[in-house]
Amino acid sequence: MNKEVIKSTVIGEQYTRYNHKSGLTILLCPMQGYSSTYALFATRYGSIDTCFKTQHDADFVTVPEGIAHFLEHKMFEDEDGDAFAKYAKTGASANAFTSFDRTAYEFLTSDNVYESLEILLKMVTTPYFTEKSVAKEQGIIGQEIEMYNDDPNWRVFFNLLRALYVNHPLRIDIAGTAASIAQIDKDLLYRCYNTFYNLKNMVLAISGNFDIERVLEVCDKVLKPAEEMIIDRRQPEEPLTVAKEYVEQEFEVSIPLFQFGFKVPPYTDAERLKLSVANDILLEALAGEASPLYSRLYEQGLINDSFSYEGMIERECVANVFSGESKNPQKVCDEIVKALEQIQQNGIDTEAFERAKKFYYGRLVFAYNNVESVASALVTSYLYGRNAYDIIDMLVGITKADVDAAAHRNFNIQHKALSVVKPKT
């Protein structure tokens, strides 16, 4: 088996990448002194993959909204029972999640690592769907959707995405709707499964307390070689402009919640790393707690501790989002735009740049302090075609000019939208 050791000279860490004979990429990071082990098994398939075909299909298929998430739920059931019942015997705490661009299955355990791993690998590589079990899941997920419908933070976020994006499936709810999941049947689930749950489209990362050889033995035992699969995903044409500049919804909340986003031109794989590091430094310098903007907003009572920023990067989409609670969201946006324009005209303040860079470096080191965040970082970096430590190397070398360039490229004042969830009148 072909393998490569990946090292960070800056923080003195390392992990190993294996190209397993089954076609699966395996990333292993044993961590000295830790008691727990975290495994994350992910496929490059999320809620935005709604239209696709493989080399075996004549035509593209458009699947119901929420099917990737539905499939995630159904993977826990096999002919010989429920995976939770199997995990109960090892003590591992198991879960799964579906996001826009991936579906991932995880467990965290302090004992019985290899038994738990076997359960995980078998569960994800063995589809088993029946009409009856699909019907049962429609009731459970129906309640999950209702739960999100009552969640103002979730609503303000999806309303923003619907304002920012005109056609892209980021507009759709990850879990779908009651109507869309009613269209799901076992045949559609098998089609999605057979397309995306191909080991060549997947990655397994394990961090913490384990023995590499024993992990590989379990992989050898369970994983069968995957056939070549050429997945063709079709996304609608997405303009750089936004769908709507403002969107609001009334809700049972005490104070308005807002999310204010800038639509960013998509990154190519080659430019993604540098641009995203420069973008994050810029966001911290612009709107972090040490920034003049933050102080101004806070002292005027326009924001509270819930204020935050995020550089959101999905497979084909990037957005810069500011969120929080405010009695006057529009005023907050105006202040952000003012501060941005100042940076665009004069460049970022040198002291603020250095401070934000230091801040960001520390936060990256934090991520390597925790078993779960290590495997997550390995998976994310792999899905974006890089090594987990590239980001630290990039950070050390980033310049003020890189950040100034990002300020122009990633903040087009014309391409912004504000989403507000406000108290019922």
Partner 1 sequence: MGNRLSREKIAQNVYFSSITDSRYKTNRISVNLMLPLDKKTATPNALLCSMLRKSGAEYENFMAISKKLSDLYGAYLDSDVMKIGENQGLSLYVTAIDDRFALNHEPLTTECAKLLCSLLLKPNIKGGAFNEKELEVEKQVLIDEIESEINEKRSYAVMQCSKNMCEGERFAIPRYGYKEDVPSITAESLVKTYQNAVSTALVEVFFTGCGSPDAAKQIFIDAFKEIRRGEDYRLSTEVIREVKQVKEITEHLDVAQSKLVLGFRAGSDVSDNDKNLAALLMVAIYGSTPSSKLFLNVREKLSLCYYCASRYDRYKGILMVDCGIEAGNMQKAKDEILKQLQEMQSGNITADELNHALLAIKNGYKAVFDSTKSVETYYLGQIFSGTTYDPEEVLAQLEGIAIEDVQNAAKRVKLDTVYFLTGENQ
Does residue 361 interact with partner 1 by CB under 8 A?
yes
Q: By C-beta, is 228 or 252 nearer to partner 1?
A: 252
Place of tokens 């190519």: 268
φ and ψ of 97, to 5 deg: -150, 155
Instruction: Note whether 237 binds partner 1 by CB under 8 A.
Output: no
Q: Does 87 bind partner 1 (CB under 8 A)?
A: yes
* Binding flag, residue 338, partner 1 (CB under 8 A): no
Nearer to partner 1, 73 or 315 (CB): 73
Which residues lie across from 64 on neighbouring strands? none
Q: Output the smallest distance, CB 119 to partner 1, in A.
A: 13
Catalytic residue among 72, 106, 137, 335: 72
Q: Indicate which single residue of 2, 32, 268, 350 sits in contact with partner 1 (rule: CB under 8 A).
A: 32
Which member of 304, 338, 385, 413 binds partner 1 (CB under 8 A)?
304
292 binds partner 1, rule: CB under 8 A: yes
Instruction: Quote the least distance from Cβ 231 to partner 1, whole Å.
Output: 30
Quick one: residue 219, left, alpha or beta (phi over 0 = left, psi -120 to 50 = alpha)?
Answer: alpha
41 within 8 A of 105, measured Cβ to Cβ:
yes
By CB under 8 A, the residues from 197 to 216 that bind partner 1 are 208
Residue 81 φ/ψ, nearest 5 degrees: 120, -175
Question: What's the rounded Cα separation, in Å, for the pair 167 and 236?
Answer: 6
Residues 6+ apart with CB under 8 A from 413: 337, 340, 341
Q: Please tell me whether residue 182 binds partner 1 under the rule CB under 8 A.
A: no
The Cα 336–Cα 330 span in angstroms is 10
Q: Contact between 383 and partner 1 (CB under 8 A)? A: no
Active site residue 77: no
State which residue, 34 or 190, has the beta carbon closest to partner 1. Answer: 34
Least CB distance from residue 135 to partner 1, whole Å? 8
Give 264 or 285: the residue with its C-beta nearer to partner 1: 285
Confirm or reject binding of residue 152 to partner 1 (CB under 8 A): yes
What is the DSSP track for 313-359?
E-SS-EEEEEEEE-S-HHHHHHHHHHHHHHHHHH---HHHHHHHHHH
Q: What is the DSSP string of 102-160?
A: -EEEEEEESS-HHHHHHHHHHHHH-----HHHHHHHHHHHHHHHHHHHT-HHHHHHHHH
Q: What are the residues binding partner 1 (CB under 8 A)?
A: 11, 31-36, 82, 84-85, 87-94, 108-111, 136, 139-141, 143-144, 146-147, 149-153, 208, 251-255, 257, 288-290, 292, 294-295, 298-299, 301, 304-305, 325, 355-356, 358-363, 365-366, 368-371, 424
Task: Indicate which residues carry an active-site annotation.
Answer: 72
